[in-house]
Amino acid sequence: MKVLAAMSGGVDSAVAAARAVEAGHEVVGVHLALSRMPGTLRTGSRGCCTVEDAMDARRVANLLNIPFYVWDFSERFKAEVVDDFIFEYQAGRTPNPCLRCNEKIKFEALLDKAIALGFDAVATGHYANIIETVNGRELHRASAEAKDQSYVLGVLTQEQLKYCYFPLGDTPSKTLVRQEAAARGIRIAQKPDSYDICFIPDGDTRGWLKEHIERTPGEIVDQSGEVVGSHDGAHGYTVGQRRGLKLGRPAPDGKPRFVLSIRPVSNQVVVGPREALAVARIAGGRMSFTSEPGFDIAQSFECEIQIRAHADTMPARARLVAITETNRTEQHRAEATHEMIIDPKTPLTGVAPGQSAVIYIGTRVLGQFTIDRAISVTEGDTTVDSGSVAAGS
């Protein structure tokens, strides 16, 4: 099999490429340049995609004696990931740029180019399993729950899954991968994992957004609409935030207040008690399905839902419904025709519109959608009034 190994410069992708070579495949390594002005060196575990990472990937390719290339995807990365990130924050949502990068860059742009060049598969260092079934390929959780990365792969389509190759899926732990890397003579065996958003390597998302989004002062209001403070830009707040609100008026009961929602149309930040963060229902569009459901998803079905990369899955019931003029709300994206509705069996917390929700049936990834609406246990719908902002479905 002719395999294109995506090599980030980290230990996971290095061992994945090594295993592909060892399995007898014809392997070519590629590193994706996602920034026109990449940093020269990493700062500990901060960020990724630096010049140092590209050099590390090249050294591993030389060790494995495979061809190695650097592909410049910086323009597409800016348009599909960075600009989308800015747009979503302007709309009062909290996006996940890593999922968008997987969707638009690593498993769309890269995969399309690999197929056009005659490769049979793209190998990455993700921890997830692909299982062949009578209904085609299915994406499943990795054997190690602690390192499972199926959540960030929930954006894959059934067609894309045909060309994916995850050599690390059956590996019980990251420790074993590091030990294997050291045994193979790979110098980056103990290289720290990257975290934070790669294009915001210092981790200061609010500061970065201030440089890219025009700040418009507005009101901070409570659930009744009473003004309790002011802000210098609604995009600087996230659902669940407690610190940094600088409210001029304390809550009647003296308890702390939290950000419940962002309203970009009225430029307001809504705050309230902790209990109002408990969410009884989430709903949204921008859906994709990794595998064939095998049942009618318009009928309520049992599943598990995960709303963040490192969150636990929660048991829930789900169903797909049509959006009509009768039930359309201002929270629906303008072009959406259907939405997935999820009723968790216990309330969710820290839910923000813009997050990706991945649906599981057992260990199988069914698909994902972007949360548009989060309905509070105590106060009803607490989502943004972003109906005038169209982002597609």
| Percent of the chain residues topping a pLDDT of 90 | 53
Residue with tokens 């302007």: 90
Token duo for residue 91? 């709309």
For residue 106, pLDDT over 50 is answered with: yes
**318-363 pLDDT, tens per residue?**
999 887 666 666 566 666 678 899 999 999 987 888 999 999 999 9
- What dotted CATH number matches 214-275? 2.30.30.280
CA 181 to CA 162: how far, in whole Å? Answer: 28
Question: What average pLDDT does this structure show over 366-370?
Answer: 94
Q: Are 246 and 229 in contact (CB under 8 A)?
A: yes
Please give the residue that has the higher pLDDT: either 256 or 203.
256
- What dotted CATH number matches 278-381? 2.40.30.10
Hey, which residues are catalytic here?
A: 101, 198
* Residue 29 pLDDT: 98
Residue with tokens 């494995």: 64
Question: What average pLDDT does this structure show over 92-114?
Answer: 91
36-47: burial string, b at 16+ Cβ within 10 Å, e else: eebbeebeeebb
Range scoring the smallest mean pLDDT among 303-312, 341-350, 380-389: 380-389
**243-266 pLDDT, tens per residue?**
888 887 778 888 899 999 888 878
In angstroms and rounded to an integer, the radius of gyration of the C-alpha atoms of the chain is 22
Question: What average pLDDT does this structure show over 237-246?
Answer: 87
Total-model pTM: 0.86
**51-68 pLDDT, tens per residue?**
788 999 999 999 999 999
| Percent of the chain residues topping a pLDDT of 70 | 88
CA 371 to CA 366: how far, in whole Å? Answer: 16
- Classified as helix, coil or strand, 235 is helix
CATH fold for the domain made of 2-183: Rossmann fold (3.40.50)
For residue 37, pLDDT over 90 is answered with: no
What is the residue extent of each domain of the chain? 2-183, 214-275, 278-381
Helix intervals (H) in 80-157: 83-90, 97-101, 110-116
